[in-house]
Amino acid sequence: MTTPGPRPQPFSNEQISPRALFIVGAIVFGLGVGVIVGRPEVIVLTSPLLILFVVGVVLHRWPDIDLVVEGPARCVEGDEIELTVTATTTTGIPWLQLDVELPPDLDAPQGSSQALISMAPGRRTTVTFPVVANRWGVSSPGLVSAIARDRFGLFIASRVIRPHVNIRVHPHEGSRRALVAPARLHRRVGAHGSRAHGEGSDFAEVRPWRPGDPSRAINWRVSARRGDRWVTTRHPDQSGDLVLLIDSFRDLGVLGDRLVQRSVRAALELAESSLAVHDRVGVLDVGRTIRWYRPALGRMHKAHLTDALLETHVEPGLRPPRLEQLPLHELQQGTLIVALTGLLDPGAALLPLELRARGLEVAAVEVSAEAHLPADSDPTQILGQRLWRLRRAALAKQMREGGVNLVTWNEGQPIELIVTALARRSVRRVGTS
């Protein structure tokens, strides 16, 4: 049993067209000139317009229509996708113009997002608009307008709707070299080499055979050369837990979500590379509200995690988030927390420092805003930028002194370099402790 669709509704705006007004003016002018001048041939010349107008008025019925806009739930940046507009009418529309308003991140490859169709009574027509997703994020088509005209073009009816279609545009797959590893690994199958000896893929050492060693570990070449049984030991492959903390509480005001967008881009690359080596990855979005996605594995989790990161945006509030609002009971020891922050709000930026004070392994990436600052020659603006830089430097110094591995990520710098710097400082901290 099929569920009937929504009943078509009348157009919201119905009016007489400029053509009808022109025809009425021509009829009145012709009849007036014919009567005043006394020339019946002028009236005869005007009669076709009069007949056209009368027939159009008699046959006209204001149409109704229902519009349904659909699109794919997900796609990849640069893909060509299809937006479909399904129109349903019970009265019939001789001329129907459909126009889809596209945002800047969606582009029509054919140069136009308009269509002109004709619909018979009681029919349903689907029109496809090919578009290209230019930029990753959550995109949605703007207003969809429908303009209907009768057969003679005497009457115009229009309707405008705002479709609720959200298209999650995933970015291209990032480099899998952007990989951060926790200091404490779990005994799950993964791609991180452990310091312990066991079954794995990385070579550890060759040693004499001991009771209990499996026969498949015997190194027959070394055993034949030394006249005794020797075995090859390897480092077991293990995995870790990674939590990406994104500071979305503040951004650069009228310039938009530029720092948050860069943070999301880095988080996507880190999540993809970590999931590829069987690490469990979670996301903690710290803004006006706290969004928590538990660490997990699998392709479905990767899709859900990507959707969650794409929906990250700035939700400014009056009060910064507090440590008590975070899911502290689920942030276990051994989990590496990588914070991506613009250091714009002290309350949100110092959350990684408070997590470090609780004994958690925390690293932070300062998303630099220097490339986004406007060049201003006003002394007051220059002084304000200096004070702003001093405050950011003070926050960075406070985080480093508190034990947080903090590196600065400048505009245009590959995320792999940042990951390498984080790993280098982690090794240096472990060696000095």
Query: Pick from 249, 274, 273, 251: which is nearest to 262 by CA?
Result: 251
* 123-177 residue pLDDT tens: 888 999 998 888 777 788 888 888 888 888 888 888 888 888 888 887 776 544 4
Domain shared by 326 and 246, yes or no: yes
Domain shared by 313 and 359, yes or no: yes
Domain shared by 327 and 275, yes or no: yes
Domain shared by 139 and 229, yes or no: no
Structural domain includes residue 344: yes
Per the structure, how many domains does the chain have? 3
C-alpha R_g of the chain: 34
Domain that holds residue 203: 193-238
10-residue averages of pLDDT along the chain (433 residues):
55 78 82 79 78 81 86 85 89 88 83 85 88 82 87 85 84 55 42 47 73 83 87 64 86 63 83 80 87 85 84 73 84 84 83 88 84 70 80 86 85 74 54 46
Phi then psi dihedrals of residue 327, to 5 deg: -75, 70
What pLDDT sits at residue 196? Answer: 46
Say which CATH number the domain at 88 has.
Answer: 2.60.40.10
Structural domain includes residue 8: no
Is the pTM here over 0.85, yes or no?
A: no
Domain shared by 258 and 226, yes or no: no
Strands 167-170 and 74-76: parallel
Domain shared by 274 and 407, yes or no: yes
Structural domain includes residue 7: no
Domain shared by 113 and 223, yes or no: no
Say which CATH number the domain at 317 has.
Answer: 3.40.50
Domain shared by 266 and 323, yes or no: yes
Report in angstroms the alpha-carbon separations of 120 from 12, 15, 28, 64. 20, 22, 34, 12
Q: Are 365 and 407 in contact (CB under 8 A)?
A: yes
